[in-house]
Chain A
Amino acid sequence: MARRPNNSPQTRKLLSAMLRQPRAWQYGYELSKQTELKSGTLYPLLIRLSDQGFLESQWQEPERPGKPPRHAYKLTLNGLGFAREMAATDTASAVRRKLAGATT
């Protein structure tokens, strides 16, 4: 059976991290620290989600002088809906697992 796109644990981790601050622009390194995803996993995910219209990106001036601008990311409306859907599925699965554990 073909794997559903955007269904990997890594994608879920990233979407869940972005959902914690849905209105904030977030940077690659910070996202990597929050999700514990290496840059080798994070960037392909960011690129794919951006291609699919779930993420928007923009260059932002650095907070500290002397540093280069940073590429920042935020969920789009579609992305927000998708991330919430994923989070709801995760919660439902966790509840089912707990219930199954309680009955055995």
Chain B
Amino acid sequence: MTARASPLRRLASALIAHAADVLPPLRSPWGEAMKHELDHIEDDVEALKWGVGCVIASYLERGGRGMNQSFGTIVRKPSAFLPLAMSLTALALLGGAYIFALVTGQAGLERQQDEGAIAHLWQLLMAGQLPVLIFFAIKWLPRAPRQTLCVLALQAGAAVAAMAPVYLLNL
């Protein structure tokens, strides 16, 4: 009969199992190596430290692979350029409406009581990009933090540009 593993040992095993899951498939032998090595560590505290280190190693390894991706590669991902495109479309809608108002002899854009189709489209575009943006941040921040932050800054800039006329013109 085998003795029941201590809580520290079980925690170490769980950490290493997570570390192995985090590693890219190409690196799976390294995950196995970490797991097997744990069984050769007698001391439970040492085993736990080993487990924590392996999780860090796996995230570094996964992040390292992402780091190889340039800003250009990441910004071309659909979840990166869709929010940008939606903000720019929302801005273009306002610009189009402004030009239309000038052409039809109005002084400019005015707040409408029922908000109108353009306002609803604008709201849909701005609200619709939020889940995409969150998905992008969750997926890419751990893999390539610097490049992802640059794309997020770009997306934030585009969103601010789309919102600015609404606030400035009190639409």
Contact = CB atoms under 8 A, between A and B. Distances in A.
A28 B114 CA distance: 69
B64 A39 contact: no
Contacts of A28: 33-34, 37
Contact of A70 (B37, B53, B60): B37
A27 B37 contact: yes
A38 B37 contact: no
A97 B29 CA distance: 42
Given A29-B50, A38-B49, A71-B29, A43 B57 contact: yes
Label chain B's interface by main secondary structure. Answer: helix
Interface residues of A, number: 20
A44 interface: yes
A68 interface: yes
B115 interface: no
A71 B37 CA distance: 8
A32 B12 CA distance: 17
Nearest to B64: A44
A69 B35 CA distance: 10
12 contacts: A39-B34, A39-B53, A40-B54, A41-B53, A41-B57, A42-B53, A43-B33, A43-B58, A44-B57, A46-B30, A68-B36, A69-B36
Interface of B: 27, 29-30, 32-37, 39-41, 49-50, 52-58, 60-61, 64
